[in-house]
């Protein structure tokens, strides 16, 4: 089957007109977990919605965007490296928007649970499409997710949570956290391939799910972060989704968050 990868990042372009305000248009594919299930408040509170407003564009305008992520330390969120790119599409170690915020512990974005904190710094992984975003202040009363220190095996099931769209057709970010299970298809040097498993075979990441966490979710025991969303075909689909490994750069992540 042919496969056209797309970064799991969508944007809303804000073009500044010469004589009249702002024109708004959609650009790029991105959504919440396609064909997943809604997460109840209080579950998977380490899940993060990243919102970026006022990203400069090459034509002098502005665009808005969103990604997903996970809290890995009180003051650090892991997400996709491509969520922070300059005008040339190059990943950078800085915030590129006028304002980037992390909403942590809020399954329903219309509610008041959890915390909203500004992102103030970025560190890019030296090996794969992964970045750490530093928060202006530590998040309290929400437990970060632990990191996996070994890769999964082919056939293992991982849970995905994200605030992306549910379809690549007219995509918009979800206002609620969604989840689903995927199966590991292959383990590469820096990436892990996955395909949908539950509740449907085409359950999986969509636009705005860039950086969404994939983790082991045992019935007894704590979740462990295995990888984060990088790219894949237009959703929903039953093909392979590409995720960035965490276990092989766990030492680097610990080094950054410990300062």
What pLDDT shows up at residue 259? 86
Q: What is the pLDDT along the chain (259 residues), one digit of tens a residue?
A: 333 445 666 554 433 332 222 222 333 333 358 889 999 999 999 999 999 999 999 999 999 999 999 999 999 999 999 999 998 889 999 999 999 999 999 999 999 999 999 999 999 999 999 999 999 999 999 999 999 999 999 999 999 999 999 999 988 889 999 999 999 999 999 999 999 999 999 999 999 999 999 999 999 999 999 999 999 999 999 999 999 999 999 999 999 999 8
What's the rounded Cα separation, in Å, for the pair 11 and 149?
33
Strand ranges for 94-222 from DSSP E: 99-104, 115-124, 131-135, 146-147, 157-162, 178-187, 191-198, 213-216
- Selection from 211, 214, 218 nearest residue 179 by Cα: 214
What pLDDT shows up at residue 128? 96
Provide the residue range defining the domain that includes 133.
1-259
Let me know how long the chain is. Answer: 259
What pLDDT shows up at residue 119? 98
CB 173 within 8 A of CB 26: no
What pLDDT shows up at residue 213? 98
Q: Which two tokens stand for residue 180?
A: 């689903």
Give me the CATH number covering residue 76.
2.40.10.120
Domain count, the chain: 1
What pLDDT shows up at residue 178? 97
pTM score, whole prediction? 0.89
What's the rounded Cα separation, in Å, for the pair 132 and 249?
12
């Amino acid at each position: 089957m042919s496969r056209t990868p797309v970064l799991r990042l969508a944007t809303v372009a804000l073009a500044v007109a010469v004589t009249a305000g702002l024109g708004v248009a959609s650009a790029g594919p991105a959504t919440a977990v396609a064909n997943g299930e809604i997460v109840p408040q209080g579950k998977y509170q380490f899940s993060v919605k990243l919102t970026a407003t006022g990203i400069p564009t090459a034509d002098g305008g502005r665009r808005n965007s969103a990604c997903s992520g996970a809290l890995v330390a009180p003051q650090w969120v892991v997400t996709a490296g491509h969520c922070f790119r300059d005008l040339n599409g190059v990943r950078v170690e800085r915030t590129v928007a006028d304002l980037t915020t992390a909403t942590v512990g809020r399954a329903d974005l219309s509610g008041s649970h959890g915390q909203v904190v500004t992102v103030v710094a970025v560190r890019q992984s030296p090996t794969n499409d992964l970045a750490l975003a530093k928060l202006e202040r530590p998040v309290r009363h929400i437990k970060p997710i632990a990191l996996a220190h070994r890769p999964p095996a082919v056939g293992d099931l991982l849970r995905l949570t994200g605030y992306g769209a549910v379809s690549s057709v007219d995509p918009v970010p979800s206002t609620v956290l969604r989840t689903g299970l995927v199966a590991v298809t292959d383990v590469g040097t820096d990436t892990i391939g996955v395909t949908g498993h539950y509740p449907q075979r085409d359950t999986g990441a969509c636009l705005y799910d860039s950086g969404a966490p994939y983790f082991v979710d045992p019935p007894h025991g704590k979740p462990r972060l295995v990888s984060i969303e990088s790219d894949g075909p237009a959703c929903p689909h039953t093909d392979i989704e590409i995720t960035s490994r965490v276990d092989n750069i766990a030492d680097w992540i610990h080094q950054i968050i410990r300062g």
